[in-house]
Structure 1
Amino acid sequence: MTALDSIYQVRNGRRTKRISSYDRSGGNKDSVAIPAGETAEIANIGGAGVIRHIWMTINCADRMIRRNAVLRMYWDGESEPSVESPIGDFFGQGWGENYNFASLPLAAAPHKGQALNCYFPMPFGDGAVITLTNESEEPIESFYYYIDYEEHDAMPEDAGRFHAQWRRELTEADSADGENEGLELVPQQPNQSDAGNYVFADIRGKGHLVGINYYVDNPSPMWYGEGDDMWMIDGEPWPGSLHGTGTEDFFNTAWCPKEIYMHPYFGCARVNGETGFLGRTHVYRFLLEDPVYFEKSLRASIEHGHNNALTLDLVTVAYWYQLEPHQPFPELPDKEGRQNKPIINLHDIHYWRHEYRKAFGGGTTLWGNEWRSKREEP
């Protein structure tokens, strides 16, 4: 059954409404300003209903405003947010950048991803509040938005509330084997635990996970994607109910992709333009047809390289529905803790070669592949 299958049905007890930034004077200044350091209440809705669509766009001198402005959503009078994420990452825009992104529940539309859209339905039984906090040192000169929602007479007791959480970790390379992914510097060891994995969801309660945006910044040209996804449902031990075979496999692609591809449910919205897999890549997977259900808890994680061998800057936003109350999120890193790692540039790569020459005795005609014959020595 699709949305179009029931679109002809005339329903009772629903009223369509919108909160927007339109000019209340009737003029054409259809935006609000958010001074540096301040929080704006974008929506405050009473009663029961469902938010059906959110559209937003920002004008700010800060080029990192999409990482420096934080979006929060609260349902039913709760004091802890059910949604907490930098605004760009939530809508599928990593690293404070803007680029086109198309999926079924989220999209960043032309011009160059400037229009942020969300179609995840967000039910509430007794009120909804949406805020945006400008943690930049620059004012948001103009912030435009639509919050399209339905008023309902009541909300069913089994209606899960929408949640989204931003996480980040600079992962550690294996201290014994080093960054050893596919090059077989030393034989890689098996991983029979999820203890060292990057955790993108750690949830308590009853619900189902429906998606993830996954932003990886790789300081090496080495392939980053041999990590298996692992899902421990309701406290079960490893290997869990769902165990994957590789990062690109979980994201429904194959064989180390490096090209833009956007399906409604999965894809690569941004790929690095550097040597190998050096730099920034954004992949996504929405489990709309195959959500991961849990009764008591969910620990969802992924290896950062096989046996967690790689140093990566990993950022994720996980999306799920659950019955309240939810476990409060860990404190969101401050603005400084959300900034990008420096871009590895050609000078850095040349210094790698300089160190390579030193390691091979400072030869004057070293080409760069001498390590191959040295590895084959008895």
Structure 2
Amino acid sequence: MNSLHNIFQIKDNLRTKRISSYDKTGNNRDCIRIQGGETSEIAVIEGAGIIRHIWITLKTADPFIRRNAIIRMYWDGETHPSVEAPLGDFFGQGWGEEYNFISLPLAAAPMKGRALNSYFPMPFGDGAKITIENQSDSDIESFYFYVDYEVHPTISKSSGRFHAWWNRELTEVHPEEGETEWGIVAAQGENKTDAHNYLFADIEGKGHFIGINYFVDSPGPMWYGEGDDMWMVDGEPWPGSLHGTGTEDFFNSSWCPNEIYLHPYFGYARIPDKLGWMGRTHCYRFFLEDPIYFDKSLRASIEHGHDNALTLDLSTVAYWYQTEPHKIYPPLPGRGLRQNMPEVTVRDVHMWRHEWRKAMGGGKTLWGNERK
């Protein structure tokens, strides 16, 4: 990342350029239209350079466009994208929602998080291409964008290329005793493998991992974050070179937080306002001062509850740099498979209480914390 300590230095053989949606007729229609089902190439750059900044905002009738639109990036004439993610998730907004998000490399800025920004440097040696695929039934009526980049004489092949991958899983409860987080239902087991963890990076090549946006939707009020992060570098066995102590610890916080906190490198951009930790939480962490290096491969995952004891709707965007070629990503789940899980409502919780009351014998003054 650029830093202020050398901003005064004058550099040779560089030129700053921009590709934008400005109205080339000189009028004020400074946007493009992307029809439903259409893929638009918003930036095609020849030669060598570094993309320094991307800004996007849009208008459409589709309220779920941040999941229904896909951003892809290609470097050096490659066929398979190095970046592939739903538009909102890539810039740090989960579930197709609009909300403000602040970090050093990514931001969703006012009005109400509708201005999407990236400051990740993205080098390329022989061309770059950025596309937006509108998988919605609605047109994106107005799509505004800047792509600001530097023209360089050359960029070495040894320079890492920027990558980002979106994944999602409705996690299955692994222990036979069911959702027994904190030992509430039964004694908890020991997890001595990463086989059942939620996978957020599966990388082949040489490079370094630099960040993650982590979106968790919890259908129950239990704390979702007892899961440890686990990193297997260059094919090493469990427990790996880096092994965490809990989800909130991985995101540089503590003691089951449920509050908005926005640090340049880590934080909580969205939290639920329900019972306990029920609902949607967006955690993020960027390893800009402490990248995770790998020479051959990296498998990074996290438990969904200790010993993978919780059903959660988890989705992530992982960010890293590596030399090419990269491992081809699995096919992006179709639009129907990217929809949100239904919201658990007050009515649902009341029905849980009703079933619990029957299981307790139907007493007329049962409070809710009685146990057999």
Q: TM-score, normalised by structure 1?
A: 0.97
Matched, 1:17 2:17: yes
Q: Deviation string for 1:18-41 (max 9, x for gaps)?
A: 000000000000000001110011
Partner residue of 1:244?
244
**CA offset at residue 2 of structure 1?**
6.3
In 2, the alpha carbon distance for the partners of 1:175 and 1:8 equals 58
- For 1:9, give the aligned amino acid: Q
State yes or no: 1:151 paired with 2:151.
yes
Deviation at 1:8, TM superposition (A): 1.0
Q: Which residue of 2 aligns with 1:68?
A: 68
1:192 aligns with 2:192: yes
Aligned to 1:128: 128
**Structure 2 equivalent of residue 297 of structure 1:** 297
TM-aligned CA deviation for residue 185 of structure 1: 1.8
Cα distance in 2 between the residues matched to 1:71 and 1:319: 14
Q: Tell me which residue corresponds to 2:219.
A: 219
How many residue pairs align between the two structures? 372
Output aligned runs, 1:336-347, within 5 Å.
Answer: 336-347=336-347
Instruction: Say whether the 8 Å CA contact 2:175–2:307 is kept in structure 1.
Output: no
Which deviations, in whole Å up to 9, do the C-alpha atoms of 1:212-241 show, x marking residues without a partner? 000000000000000000000000000000
Is the aligned partner of 1:96 residue 2:99? no
Q: Does 1:368 align with 2:368?
A: yes
* Cα separation, 2, equivalents of 1:174 and 1:297: 26
- Determine the C-alpha separation between the residues in 2 that align with 1:95 and 1:249: 24
Q: Secondary structure at the match of 1:73?
A: strand
Supply the RMSD in Å over aligned alpha carbons.
Answer: 1.0
Q: Determine the C-alpha separation between the residues in 2 that align with 1:53 and 1:124.
A: 14
**What corresponds to 2:55 in structure 1?**
55
Q: Give the corresponding residue for 1:311.
A: 311
Structure 2 matches for 1:275-290, cutoff 5 A? Answer: 275-290=275-290
Q: Letter of the aligned partner of 2:73 in structure 1?
A: M
What are the Cα deviations for residues 305-358 of structure 1, in whole angstroms up to 9, with x where unaligned? 000000000000000000000010000000000000001001111110111112
Encode CA deviations 1:350-378: one digit per residue, 9 max, x unaligned: 1101111121122222221112xx2xxxx
Task: Please report how far the alpha carbon of residue 175 of structure 1 lies from its aligned counterpart in structure 2 after TM superposition.
Answer: 4.5
Q: Give 2:78's aligned residue.
A: 78
1:314 is matched by which residue type in structure 2?
A: L
Deviation sequence 1:241-277 (CA, Å, 0-9, x none): 0000000000000001111000000000000011100
Unaligned runs of at least 5 residues, structure 2: none
CA distance in 2, matches of 1:289, 1:156: 23
Helix, strand or coil: the match of 2:357?
A: helix
Q: Residues 175 and 189 of structure 2 are in contact (CA less than 8 Å); yes or no, is this contact kept in structure 1?
A: no
SS at match of 1:43: strand
Matching of residue 270 in structure 1 with residue 270 in structure 2 = yes
Q: How does 1:329-340 map to 2 (within 5 A)?
A: 329-340=329-340
Give SS of 1:337's match. Answer: helix
| SS of corresponding position for 1:104 | coil
| Cα deviation 1:47-95 (Å, max 9, x = unaligned) | 0000000000010111100000000000000000000000000000000
Amino acid at match of 1:26: G
1:353 is matched with which residue?
353
Q: Secondary structure at the match of 1:202?
A: strand
Q: Deviations over 1:142-187 (max 9, x none)?
A: 0000000000000023210000000000001134121111153211
The amino acid across from 2:299 in the alignment is R
- 1:38 and 2:38 matched: yes
TM-score, length of structure 2 as denominator length: 0.99
Counterpart-to-counterpart distance in 2, 1:193 and 1:124: 38
Alpha-carbon distance in structure 2 between the residues aligned to 1:2 and 1:254? 30
Amino acid at match of 1:278: M
Query: C-alpha separation between the residues in 2 aligned to 1:174 and 1:164?
Result: 28
**Once the two structures are superposed, what CA deviation does each residue of 1:287-320 show, in whole Å capped at 9, x if it has no partner?**
0000000000000000000000000000000000
**Alpha-carbon distance in 1 for matches of 2:177, 2:56:** 46
Structure 2 Cα separation of the partners of residues 264 and 216 of structure 1: 20
